[in-house]
Homo-oligomer: A and B are copies of this chain.
């Protein structure tokens, strides 16, 4: 729902400058609903211009995360993944043994997150992060 323009406006309102690089990066990540790595984002931007550097991509993503416009997390594949709030609130269950990723709805944990917000005054939104553990199949296949 919030379009690129909204993200850029928020950055500008926070006193950051709007550069062509930032515009392109925001457009890519906001329009693509899924998770992307920094490298993927750079390749997409490269399709439009050569004037982009991986360090700038990381710095822009940091900016978005720091300002709550994107989430950053670990899918256990060696690369960090990024997504805007378009991607929707949910949690990833990542198996520490086989690496499988199960997406679960926010509802399954929102009560606890609300509790944390109340008690500790800590804003967990956007609800989009990973919990690492052991999936059923892996648990079954372990004698322990």
Contacts and interface: CB of A to CB of B under 8 A. Distances in A.
Contacts of A93: 116, 120, 122, 124
A116 B109 contact: yes
Interface residues of A, number: 35
A46 interface: no
Interface stretch (A30-38, A50-58, A132-140): A132-140
A90 to B, nearest CB: 12
Nearest to A71: B132
A49 interface: no
11 contacts: A71-B132, A73-B132, A74-B74, A102-B122, A104-B116, A104-B120, A121-B136, A121-B139, A122-B135, A123-B134, A129-B131
Interface of A: 65-66, 68, 71-74, 93, 95-97, 102, 104, 108-109, 111-113, 115-116, 119-125, 129, 131-136, 139
